[in-house]
Amino acid sequence: MSRLSSWLTSPWATVTGLVAGGALGALLPSAGTALAPFGTLYLSLMQMCVIPLIITAITASIARLMLGDSAAALPRLAMVFVCGLVSTAVIAMLAGLVIAPGAELGQDQRVFLAHEMLRQEATSSAAPGPSLWTLAQMIVPSNVIRAAADGQMLALLLFSVLLGMGLGKISAAQGAQAIGVLDAFYNALVKVMGWILYGLPFGLFAMMADHTAHGGVEMFLMLGRLIATFYGLAALLIGGMTLVISSRTGQRPLTVLARLREAMLTAFGTSSSVATLPTALKAVEDGLGLGRQTAQMVLPLGVSLYPVGNVLHVVVSSLFVLQLYGLPLDLEAATVLMVGGILVACAMTGAPGIASMALLSVLLSPFGVPAEVAIVLLVALEPVLDPVLTVLNVFGNITAAAVMAPRPSHPPLTAETALLTRR
């Protein structure tokens, strides 16, 4: 039994599930589609524990911060998030300008996009006129239970942070008691997640089989340059972030990648950074040894507030649309595109559905960008890009945790990391 369980949790089982599922879906699409309900069921099971996990983790970690008089960590975390997101947006923008994936499309590519537009517009109803106010409403819930039920992540985060701060400001004894209870729940949820993760190879098998059964080959052929831009940028950013983690933890880059392997594979297979959260927590605490306090604080917040992959997705897609229509890009438009891209990216993880993307249209329409095209593009590209972008989201999140973590007391300094830290 123990041999079986240790095999099931080994990365090889995960890889086997992913590859076997992918192959099955590609070779026998009907079998892949038939497995879809099982994949969805497993994904639900994984996500089941995540909302209580997020609430307990954030509340307890923030309360501990406040009690320990290290509240300065919060503004620092905000700085890390903002800097990371802005630099991602700038990198995405520059790469988009240099590669210009939307310029000079061929006739067949334009016809393909036109048909994609017709297909998507036939299925979606007219968007209600959204506004920036929608975002504010996403963050401030009137009813936190309903927000949790609707999966309004941003609203939950606000509530958890405030609750944690409140716990930190009451008497120390009471606060510690509450933290003890929250920690107990957190630990129990981690235990439950551990059991659920035994099924990961099978869950990934079903999810990948369904995923590859839907093809997407035509999309690759038609929008090859755009997709290559995404994959290239993702590889570049993951490489850069590996070096950052390596320099912060004192582990060699390849070791870092090996330690994060399971989290990456889960992110790739599930295409859901929320579902990957428990695996990522485990990787950060046990794999990188960054400490529970950091992991508990940064990762759950980062799921919604630090979506590096989504920023890349939104900025490059918007730029693609601008180039497609030959619209000019001045400084104002570029700024709006980047800031809006970050806001929309956060809203996308915080609130499910098209509503968040409709924000994009409000921001970009003054520049003549038909945002419905950008939205359709985001939706159409999702199946092809989601696995990679989720990996990027999770990786970015772990990097933020590494930056926030206090340096290990006795780092095994290698020549390589010594060089990096000196720079």
Partner 1 sequence: MFRSAANRWWRTIATALTLLFMPGLATAADPSVSPDIARIQERGKLVVAAYKADMPPFFYVDDHGDPGGIDVDLATDIANRLGVRLEYARIADSFDDLPALVAQRKADVAIAYLSRTLRRAAVVRFTQPYVRLRQTIMVNRTKTAPLFRGGERVEALDDPGVRIGVEDGSSYVDFATERFPKAELRRYRSNEDAVDDLLNGQLHAVIVDEAFSFSLNHPLPGAPHYRVRDDWALYVKVIPLSGARDPIAMAVHRDDQTWLAWLDTYIADRQEDGSLERLLERHLGGSRK
Interface residues toward partner 1, by CB under 8 A: 107, 110-111, 113-115, 117-118, 121, 126-131, 324-325, 327, 358, 361-362, 364-373
Q: Which of 274/362 has CB closer to partner 1?
A: 362
Contact 96, 318 (CB under 8 A): no
Contact 23, 216 (CB under 8 A): no
Q: Is the dihedral of CA 229, 234, 235, 239 positive or negative?
A: positive
Q: Which of 342/374 has CB closer to partner 1?
A: 374
Dist CA 352 CA 270 (whole Å): 16
Contact 267, 234 (CB under 8 A): no
Contact 213, 21 (CB under 8 A): no
Q: How far is the CB of 312 from partner 1 (least distance, A)?
A: 23
Q: How far is the CB of 380 from partner 1 (least distance, A)?
A: 13
Dist CA 282 CA 288 (whole Å): 9
For the chain, how far is it from start to end, CA to CA, in angstroms? 49
Q: How far is the CB of 122 from partner 1 (least distance, A)?
A: 8
Q: How far is the CB of 371 from partner 1 (least distance, A)?
A: 6
Q: Which of 127/243 has CB closer to partner 1?
A: 127
Burial class (CB in 10 A: 0-12, 13-18, 19+), 268: buried
CA-wise closest residue to 73 among 164, 170, 144: 164
Q: Among all chains, which residue has been given the structure tokens 């129990």? A: 188
Q: How far is the CB of 366 from partner 1 (least distance, A)?
A: 5
Q: How far is the CB of 365 from partner 1 (least distance, A)?
A: 4
Q: Which of 295/364 has CB closer to partner 1?
A: 364
Q: Which of 206/364 has CB closer to partner 1?
A: 364
Length of the chain: 423
Q: Which of 42/367 has CB closer to partner 1?
A: 367
Q: How far is the CB of 379 from partner 1 (least distance, A)?
A: 15
Q: Which of 288/334 has CB closer to partner 1?
A: 334
Q: What angle do CA 123, 124, 130 make, to 5 degrees?
A: 175
Query: Which residues, at least 6 apart from 414, have a Cβ–Cβ distance to it below 8 Å?
Result: 250, 252
Q: Which of 34/100 has CB closer to partner 1?
A: 100
Q: How far is the CB of 368 from partner 1 (least distance, A)?
A: 5
Dist CA 335 CA 333 (whole Å): 5
Output DSSP code: residue 349.
H
